[in-house]
Structures are given as C-alpha cells and as structure tokens.
Amino acid sequence: MTAIVRAKAPLRISFAGGGTDVSPFPEREGGCVLSSTINRYAWGTLRPREDGRICINSLDFGVSLAYGSRDELTYDGEMDLAKAAINRLAGDHHGGYDLFLHTDAPPGSGLGSSSAMMVVLVGLLKEFHALPLTDYEVAELAFAMERVDLGIAGGMQDQYAAAFGGFNYIEFLPDRVIVNSLKLSADIQNELEYNLLLCHTGKVRLTERIIDDQVRRYEGGEADTLEALREIKALTVEMKNLLLHRRLDEFGRLLDLEWHHKRRMSSRISSPELDELYAVARREGALGGKITGAGGGGYMLLYCPFERKHVIAERLREMGCEIHDFALEPLGLQTWRVNGNFGH
C-alpha cells in the first residue's frame, strides 16, 4: 500500500518589521523582521488515488473540488493555493491523490495562516515527488506561488517563518533572504510566554487593501510612510538586541512604539474600534502591543506585566475579545509518512 503523506507548518506572531518585507522596500532599502512561530499550525494530508484524479478538500471551508490529474488547474478563487502548488510541482507526474487541508486559525487572522498552508502544500508535494528542496527553497517556492503566480499582495516573512520555525531575525536584502535563528535561553522564552497575551479582536482584515495602500504611499514618496518604514526597520534591530540582552520590559515597551510607527504607514492599518481595545489594554497596564500581520483586525499581541495580565485579559473579554493561550514553537515545516492502516 502506498504511504499517506502528512505535513504541518506553524503559524507565527510578528514582533517587529512587518511592512519592510513588502516589495519594493526590501529591494530598494533592505528589510528585516523579528518573529516567532507558535503552537498553531496549518495541516495537510496527501493520500494517493488509483484513478488518476486529484481531489482537494478544505476542512475549514467545507469545500471539495475534483479534477483529472492532466487537467489544467485554473485560478478562480477556489483552492487556488493548492492549485498553484500542483501546477508548479507536479511536473510530468500524472498520478492522482486526495488533499485534505485545514488550519488552526482562519485566513485574515494576522498569524500567517495562508502562507503556512502554502508551505504545507510544498511540503506534501516535495515528500510525494521526492524533491530535494532545502528550507530556503521551500520558502522561496511558497512565496513565488502565493505572491507571483496568484498575485496575492503581501510580504515575504510568513513563508520563511513557517518553513524554518523558531524565533528568527530575518533579513530581506535586495538579492537574497537570510534567516538568523535566535538561540534564546529557555528562561527568556518562558518569560515571554508568561507575559505575552494573544487576543482575537473579532475583526476580519482585508489584508490586500492595507498592503496596496502601503505600497502606493511608499512608491508615491509619502514622507510619513517612508519615515515609518525606516523607523520600524531600526526598531526591529533594537528589539532583537534587547531580547538577546534579556531586557524584556524594554522589549515590551518598544512594541508600543513599533505599533505607533506602523499605524503611520497606512490609514487602513487600525480603526477606532482597534484603537479603543489597545487604549484599554494600555490603561490596564500593558507595556506595549500591536495588531499582528498587516493590521486591520485579527489578533492583537500584548506584552503585560505578569501581575496585570489576568486583569487585562478579563477586561478585553468584556469587550468581546477571545483570549488564546499559546507557546513558542521551535520547529518549522514537518513532513512524515504513514501507511494506510496507521491509526485505524
């Protein structure tokens, strides 16, 4: 019996640098981000079929599509991530399979779930076709499929975070990407987990509009956007150094400054409702925080003194938010094989 292939890739929280990984800024000035993967995942299973058909199943959306393996898969808004991976990686292979896909957070959450799913799809097909891809190549392929083939607006950080995993300072240079894994001691990671609060705002983001607005402002030379991006880039380096020197309260306070600069990049990044949530968290004692991802909604990440964390969490619950526990995840994309009878 042909083995079933499975894969998972972690979602991420971004602390600083988001926006500097969005073209054309990295090509012109070089960008950098500071992020960590967490124990929320995109998941996938590839089960070979005997009839040469390809069936794609989204467990999140309850959608299933079926094709002949020789069919041209056109992008029409349904299962396009999976189609892009198949179009790029199937080669001359005409065997069929079922794909089952789901994520622990919905698209638009600000945790990089769409890019993590793209990495999972590359992982499944890499394993199925025995392709010798490095972590860098997996991330580069996922980026090319999502941003080039499908034309989905966004940056580069999420694909690299999901492929590599762990706590990373990632540099986006004009000609290459460098993933610097930060070897943080266990006590620093534990203290971060203890003081960080992840809260779902209940707001859905329209990421593409935010990204398009930011790029338009940058390319138009708007002074506020240019200055904000450069300030964020400098802050990212400073926050990395504070972490490595164990100055976590200062790190938490700089989250507030990062969010202040990020809001200057585009008027779409925040809203009166999000501003009010953040203001309440700050009044209750949060040292700093930000909306994860491009902004506009999704998850809010807060750095709280431990004795105020429960008070802040309760106040945000009263305002309609959901609080989510999480841990930092050291591993990136993982693939494995099981025989058809495993677990039955």
Query: Which of the residues are catalytic?
Result: 158
Q: Which helix (H) or strand (E) holds 187?
A: helix 186-195
Non-local (6+) Cβ contacts of 298 within 8 A are 108, 109, 110, 111, 200, 201, 203, 204, 205, 291, 292
Name the burial class of residue 28, with classes exposed (0-12), middle (13-18) and buried (19+) by CB atoms within 10 angstroms of its CB: exposed
Do 56 and 65 meet the contact criterion of CB atoms below 8 Å apart? yes
Q: CA 75 from chain center: how many Å?
A: 22
> How many other C-beta atoms can be found within 10 angstroms of the C-beta atom of residue 107?
18
DSSP per position, 88-109: HH-TT---EEEEEEEESS-TTS
d(CA 51, CA 106): 32
Do 170 and 180 meet the contact criterion of CB atoms below 8 Å apart? yes
d(CA 315, CA 318): 5
